[in-house]
């Protein structure tokens, strides 16, 4: 039996790390990557797999049924083959959702429903919906999110992700779709768009530019290396129970300030670069994940410690200076339009 995975949002941060991991760990699987190449999607992240047999890129928008159908057509195998879906595609940045919530509703909510409907039509064997711990809202000084913690999203981003989680739940209960939901804490690692805290801080500190810290910088996040997240998603894809939610976390709570200080130490850059700026409206104070369910049921646990993975990450951004330059200037889009324009890819 052959397996094909339709990945959405595979040109983004976590999606591209997931595709790289699949090529390594499941070399026989076919991969179809459906991505709209928004500002956050970069085909360069997958340059190493572009020409690989069994990999197909489909440039399309999950909000458009015809694009989703084109991706399913590319993923179609022989009778009896297994078709899986891993759904990463989303608008993912909280700050952008504060400026304008509508793209978050159309992609994260409407796009997810378009995919769910197509997954039913194409008899998908398993659908993994990649969600976030932010759907649970914010915590006080103690405690951690469990899978039965009530949904209480506070930003337009997290509200749109919570809505998409509920649509996945409804597809399982109403239509019998075999789907699982994963809710992960903050990721760090290669290929993250430099609007997010960690790559932003590495890039700015490397150039001696100020590091903007929202409010008092004492907000707490639970940081997980992206490769660990990718492996957890694969574990849920293969071993998760239908209809279940799995929290994924690194047991690595840190304040933003402590995280930024670790990066500065790694770069031997001065703390004077830290610059306090106006806080994010509605800023969640603390996230912490109880990941005991995925550990007990599936046997997944993070392999990387913060002490090993942060230096790896800092080194990656320091060595990929051209990647960083092209992403920050927007030049990556022009380059790929030139490179792939003839194949009808990026607009
Ligand atoms: P990202 O912003 O880096 O990548 C998103 C990808 O989706 C991009 O390649 C983009 O082009 C694509 N995309 C956006 N809109 C699309 C559309 N309408 N149609 C098709 N493709 C579209 O995001 P990320 O950080 O890699 O996050 C991936 C998923 O993981 C998201 O669903 C996010 O909610 C979730 N998540 C992220 C984190 C994190 O720390 N980054 C943590 C937990 C969960
Ligand atoms: P971010 O990477 O945007 O992830 P999220 O909001 O999904 O957790 O931000 C991580 C934390 O860093 C969050 O508490 C907001 C804070 N932050 C700053 O203090 N300054 C910044 O410039 C950014 C982008 C984030």
Residue 276 beta carbon below 6 angstroms from any ligand 2 atom: no
**pLDDT attached to residue 131:** 98
Query: How far, in Å, is the centroid of ligand 1 from the Cα of 80?
Result: 31
**pLDDT attached to residue 332:** 78
Q: What is the mean pLDDT of residues 108-136?
A: 98
Rounded to the nearest 5 degrees, what angle is found at the Cα of 25, between the Cα atoms of 316 and 117?
100
Out of 69, 85, 89, mutate this one to test ligand 1's pocket (max ligand atoms within 8 Å of CB): namely: 89
Chain segment 225-242, per-residue pLDDT in tens: 999 999 999 999 999 999
Nearest-ligand number for the alpha carbon of 218: 2
Q: Are 221 and 257 in contact (CB under 8 A)?
A: no
Task: Report the C-alpha gap between 128 and 146 in whole angstroms.
Answer: 19
**pLDDT attached to residue 343:** 44
Q: Is the pLDDT of residue 345 over 80?
A: no
At 74, phi and psi to the nearest 5?
-65, -30
Query: How far, in Å, is the centroid of ligand 1 from the Cα of 137?
Result: 19
Q: What is the mean pLDDT of residues 312-341?
A: 84
Cα–Cα distance list, 161 to 108, 158, 230, 232, 302 (Å): 6, 5, 19, 19, 24
Q: What is the mean pLDDT of residues 267-275?
A: 96
Confidence of residue 336 (pLDDT cuts 50, 70, 90): low
Beta bridge partners of 145: 289
Nearest-ligand number for the alpha carbon of 217: 2
Q: Whose CA is nearest to atom 7 of ligand 2?
A: 94
Task: Report the C-alpha gap between 85 and 306 in whole angstroms.
Answer: 30
The predicted model scores a pTM of 0.97
Q: Which residues contact 14 (CB under 8 A, 6 or more apart)?
A: 88, 130, 187, 226, 229, 230
Q: Is the pLDDT of residue 344 over 70?
A: no
Structure-block tokens of residue 18: 């997931």
Q: What is the mean pLDDT of residues 141-160?
A: 98
Residue 182 beta carbon below 6 angstroms from any ligand 2 atom: no
- From the number of C-beta atoms within 10 Å of its C-beta (0-12, 13-18, 19+), residue 103 rates as middle
Beta bridge partners of 289: 145
Query: How far, in Å, is the centroid of ligand 2 from the Cα of 196?
Result: 6
Out of 104, 197, 202, mutate this one to test ligand 2's pocket (max ligand atoms within 8 Å of CB): namely: 197
Out of 158, 159, 185, 256, mutate this one to test ligand 2's pocket (max ligand atoms within 8 Å of CB): namely: 256
Q: Is the pLDDT of residue 339 over 70?
A: no
Q: Which atom of ligand 2 is nearest to 92's Cα?
A: 7
Which positions are annotated as active-site residues? 133-134, 157
Query: How far, in Å, is the centroid of ligand 2 from the Cα of 93?
Result: 9
Residue 247 beta carbon below 6 angstroms from any ligand 2 atom: no
Pocket of ligand 1 (CB under 6 A): 8-9, 11-15, 35-38, 40-41, 61-63, 88-92, 107, 111, 130, 132, 161, 184, 186-187, 193
* CA-wise closest residue to 276 among 342, 336, 344, 219: 219
Confidence of residue 279 (pLDDT cuts 50, 70, 90): very high
For the chain, give the mean pLDDT. Answer: 95
Confidence of residue 36 (pLDDT cuts 50, 70, 90): very high
Q: Which atom of ligand 2 is nearest to 213's Cα?
A: 19
At 58, phi and psi to the nearest 5?
-120, 120
Q: Are 3 and 30 in contact (CB under 8 A)?
A: yes
Judged by average pLDDT, the poorest of 107-111, 248-252, 280-284, 341-345 is: 341-345
Q: Which domains does the chain have, with CATH numbers?
A: 3-335 (3.40.50.720)
* CA-wise closest residue to 221 among 271, 195, 187: 187
**pLDDT attached to residue 331:** 77
**pLDDT attached to residue 60:** 98
Indicate left, alpha or beta for 282 from its phi (over 0: left) and psi (-120 to 50: alpha).
left
Q: Are 68 and 114 in contact (CB under 8 A)?
A: yes
């Amino acid at each position: 039996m052959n397996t094909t995975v339709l990945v959405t949002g595979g040109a983004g941060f976590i999606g591209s790390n997931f595709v790289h991991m699949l090529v390594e760990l499941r070399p026989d699987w076919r991969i179809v990557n459906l991505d709209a190449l928004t500002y956050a999607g970069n085909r360069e992240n997958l340059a190493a797999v572009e020409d690989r047999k069994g990999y197909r890129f489909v440039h399309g928008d999950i909000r458009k049924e015809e694009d989703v159908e084109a991706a399913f057509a590319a993923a179609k195998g022989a009778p009896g083959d297994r078709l899986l879906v891993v759904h990463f595609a989303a608008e993912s940045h909280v700050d952008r959702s504060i400026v304008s919530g509508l793209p978050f509703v159309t992609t994260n909510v409407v796009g997810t429903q378009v995919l769910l409907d197509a997954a039913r039509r194409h008899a998908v064997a398993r659908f993994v919906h990649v969600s976030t711990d932010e759907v649970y809202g914010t915590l006080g000084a103690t405690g951690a999110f469990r899978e039965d913690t009530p949904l209480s999203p506070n930003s337009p981003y997290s509200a749109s992700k919570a809505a998409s989680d509920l649509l996945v739940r409804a597809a399982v209960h109403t239509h019998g779709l075999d789907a699982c939901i994963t809710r992960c804490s903050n990721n760090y690692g290669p290929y993250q768009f430099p609007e997010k805290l960690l790559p932003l801080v590495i890039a700015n500190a490397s150039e001696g530019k100020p590091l903007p810290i929202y409010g008092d910088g004492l907000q707490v996040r639970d940081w997980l290396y992206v490769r660990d997240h990718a492996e957890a998603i694969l574990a849920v894809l293969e071993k998760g129970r239908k209809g279940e939610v799995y929290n994924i976390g690194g047991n690595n709570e840190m304040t933003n300030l402590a995280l930024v200080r670790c990066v500065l130490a790694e770069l031997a850059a001065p703390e004077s670069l830290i610059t306090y700026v106006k806080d994010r409206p509605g800023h969640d104070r603390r996230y912490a994940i109880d990941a005991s369910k995925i550990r007990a049921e599936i046997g997944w646990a993070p392999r990387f410690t913060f002490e090993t993975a942060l230096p790896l990450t800092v080194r990656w951004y320091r060595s990929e200076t051209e990647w960083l330059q092209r992403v920050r200037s927007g030049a990556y889009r022009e380059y790929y339009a030139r490179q792939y324009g003839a194949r009808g890819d990026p607009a």
